[in-house]
Amino acid sequence: MPREFCIGAGWKMNKTIAETETYLHELVTTSLPPDVMIFVAPPFTALAAAKRAIGDAPVHLAAQNMHWADAGAYTGEISPAMLLDCGVEIVELGHSERRAHQAETDVTINAKVHAAIAHRLRPLVCVGEHEYELKAGASVETVSRQVKLAFAGLDPEQLGGAIVAYEPIWAIGETGQVAPPAHVSAVLGALREMLDARGLPWIPVLYGGSVGPDNAPDLIAIPAVDGLFVGRAAWSAEGFAKVIEAGVAGRLVRPSSGNETQPKPSSGLRNASRI
């Protein structure tokens, strides 16, 4: 089953509106590969400006979080409708930094996935194990559980636009650790099998955690890797363009895994025709 090939940049808590405009003007003037779904996830305050800066360029807009309710007494929160208002298509849910610092749980993440789908936003569910889980040999078990709980109560036909990102917590940021390709291959291979067995063969599974232009080709060479989700290395447009270039080069030489062509998400998601 063909799957989308995706490369995204998670900006975390970085960039003002002016910095967002500078970054995106630079990114959209680089030559972007037509068969890769490229996305950026700016902070909430820069989403509307980001959408304007992207214009008609083939870059998709993601938000870094969202509340599950349509509206109400949730001070400081952002609703699905507010994201749609800014031109957002994808919403990142369950990043490990939010699980660690903002009390995100598998239950709230599941509520947000339901809300995203109800509003035709594409949920990008982030999963990953702690170092103690890695050391206990529980990586596959941990992330499989997180994916199952994120998608609980949803039928395959509702998950047409979903994306999963595997981001081992011990390899994110300045930990000094990088996930070895054999580990990434084992975990993503297991996630792929699980998703296929649940009737979700179109869901792309990305890898994230200390990705840069140097290791992107090796990561992309892993057949179960359907793309990359990049943090620090993509905080400049030039850096992101380099990762995209390296990822595309790596994809050209990898053994065929059946995910080289564009998919058609099965649910009628907003802007799905552009994806």
Length of the chain, please?
275
Q: In this structure, what DSSP letter does residue 148 have?
A: H
Other residues' Cβ atoms within 10 Å of the Cβ of residue 102? 10
263 binds ligand PGA (CB under 6 A): no
Q: Which stretch binds ligand PGA (CB under 6 A): 138-146, 151-159, 229-237, 251-259?
A: 229-237
The CA-based dihedral angle spanning residues 40, 50, 37, 275, taken in that order and rounded to the nearest 10 degrees: 140
Answer for which of 10, 43, 161, 217 binds ligand PGA (CB under 6 A) is 10
238 catalytic? Reply is no
C-alpha distances (whole Å) from 144 to each of 17, 103, 139, 167, 193 are: 37, 20, 8, 13, 10
Q: In this chain, which of 80, 160, 231, 247 binds ligand PGA, going by CB under 6 A?
A: 231
Helix axes 106-118, 139-150, angle to 10 degrees: 40
Asked if 5 is part of the footprint of ligand PGA (rule: CB under 6 A), the reply reads: no
**DSSP string computed for 27-42:** HHTS---TTSEEEEE-
Secondary structure class of 63 (helix, strand, coil): strand
**Residue at shortest CB range from ligand PGA:** 231
Element (H, E) at 125: strand 122-127
Does residue 9 bind ligand PGA (CB under 6 A)? no
Query: CB-wise, 113 or 114, nearer to ligand PGA?
Result: 113
Helix (H, G, I), strand (E, B) or coil at 195: helix
Candidate residues 89, 167, 226, 245; the one interacting with ligand PGA per rule CB under 6 A: 167
Catalytic residue among 95, 104, 114, 133: 95
Instruction: Select the residue interacting with ligand PGA from 99, 119, 192, 232 (CB under 6 A).
Output: 232
Our CB check for ligand PGA shows the closer of 12 and 148 to be 12
Report 208-227 residues binding ligand PGA (CB under 6 A): 208-211
173 scored as a contact of ligand PGA (CB under 6 A): yes
Interacting residue with ligand PGA among 5, 39, 229, 240 (CB under 6 A): 229
Report the interface residues with ligand PGA, using CB under 6 A.
10, 167, 172-173, 208-211, 229-233
